[in-house]
Amino acid sequence: MWLLMKGFALRFVLGRTIGGLLATLLLVLVPVAAVLKIVGLPLLIVLGVIGAPVILLLAVVGLPLLLVLGIGSVLLFCLGILLALGTLAIKIVLPIVLVVWLVRWIFGKRRKRGSQDVGTPDASDFSAS
């Protein structure tokens, strides 16, 4: 049922409307923005590069200039928050994951080495006969 609801929502968003064209454009531009941010470009330059096609698309459709600037600025604001939070999450999560991986790797070697050296007695050795 959930898959069916997702399909209907996707058809609604990606229909032959300006919303569908805008959604497709953002679907393509968000990964480009992430790559540009990872490369090291400042956030305002990334937003300018990504925002230009969105604002041009809205202007070509024939929307009033104030509406185009308003919608474009809201979309760029949301994209800026998304990029900033994503970068912050990578800076926090990546060191934690690397430390956990290193600790598991070190203790995993010790555990394997310790089980090979020392034999544990079986319960049959202590049984009373």
φ/ψ of residue 119, rounded to 5: -90, 140
Contacts for 54 with CB less than 8 Å, ≥ 6 apart: 22, 25, 26, 29, 72, 75, 76
Taking the model in full, what pTM does it have? 0.45
> Positive or negative, the Cα torsion across 61, 64, 67, 72?
positive
Residue numbers in the chain where pLDDT is lower than 70: 2, 5-21, 112-129
Amino acid at position 60, single letter = V
Q: Cα 4–6–8 angle (5° rounding)?
A: 70
Query: Hey, where are the domains in the chain?
Result: 20-113
Which pLDDT value is given to residue 19? Answer: 67
Amino acid at position 50, single letter = I
83-114 pLDDT, tens digit per residue, is 888 888 888 988 999 999 999 988 887 776 65
Which pLDDT value is given to residue 96? Answer: 92
Contacts for 23 with CB less than 8 Å, ≥ 6 apart: 13, 14
Rounded to whole angstroms, the Cα distance separating 29 from 35 reads 10
Which pLDDT value is given to residue 71? Answer: 79
Which pLDDT value is given to residue 45? Answer: 79
Which pLDDT value is given to residue 99? Answer: 92
